[in-house]
Amino acid sequence: MLLTETKEDILLRMQEDLKRALSKPQEKRKWTMVIDLRKCVGCYACTIACKAENVLPPGVVYRRVLDIESGKYPDVKRDFVPVLCNHCEKAPCVNACPVKATTIREDGIVDIDYNECIPEKCVKNAFFKFISDDKRSLKFLNSLQIFEYFIFVSFC
């Protein structure tokens, strides 16, 4: 996206992209979410809405908002970066799951069967670091590189 584009240009381009995507057969479609990082103020409304929509128990979130500071005083910059499942075509979390509770549906959505998920089984897997012995919370740390920072994000 060019910074000189108007809102109307952006909306028009998004509508054209959506029409093109919807013209493909279902099995060829790949879903994603577009977030304008210039507008994110770190209010966590998206995290709360996602938690409410998915009726998640305490301690479990599917979406985090990272608060990243960079620079040195007096030129400090603060960015907010929403982090969510990318529904990767070859999702590493699917192969990492030792009990095969994480799968990719026909429509490309990465899905976790919480009835099959056994959090402690992921401890031995290098992709995850188990951080809670509360089985209900199903918390994992997934290492993720963003803006030259090595940060940790809750996976499920």
At 137-154, the pLDDT tens digits run 333 333 333 322 222 333
d(CA 96, CA 99) in angstroms, rounded, equals: 9
* pLDDT the model gives residue 146: 30
Cα angle vertex 57, ends 56, 63, to 5°? Answer: 45
Query: Which tens digit of pLDDT belongs to each residue from 112-124?
Result: 787 887 765 654 4
Using CA atoms of 10, 13, 17, 20 in order, give the dihedral in degrees to the nearest 10: 160
- 7, 15, 59, 94, 105 from 108: Cα distances, Å: 29, 21, 26, 12, 5
* β-pairing verdict for 64-70 and 77-83: antiparallel
Residues 6+ positions from 116 with CB-CB distance below 8 Å:
99, 100, 101
User: Closest Cα to residue 156, out of 109, 119, 105?
Assistant: 119
Residue with tokens 């952006």: 10
| Domain residue spans of the chain | 26-154
Which stretches of the chain drop beneath a pLDDT of 50? 1-2, 123-124, 126-156
Whether the predicted model's global pTM rises above the 0.95 cut: no
- pLDDT, residue 130, reads 30
What CATH number was assigned to the domain covering residues 26-154? 3.30.70
Q: Rounded to whole angstroms, how far apart are CA atoms 143 and 132?
A: 16
Residue 79 is predicted with a pLDDT of: 87
Provide DSSP, 15-57: HHHHHHHHTS-GGG--------TTT--S--HHHHHHHHHTTPP
| Model pLDDT, residue 152 | 30
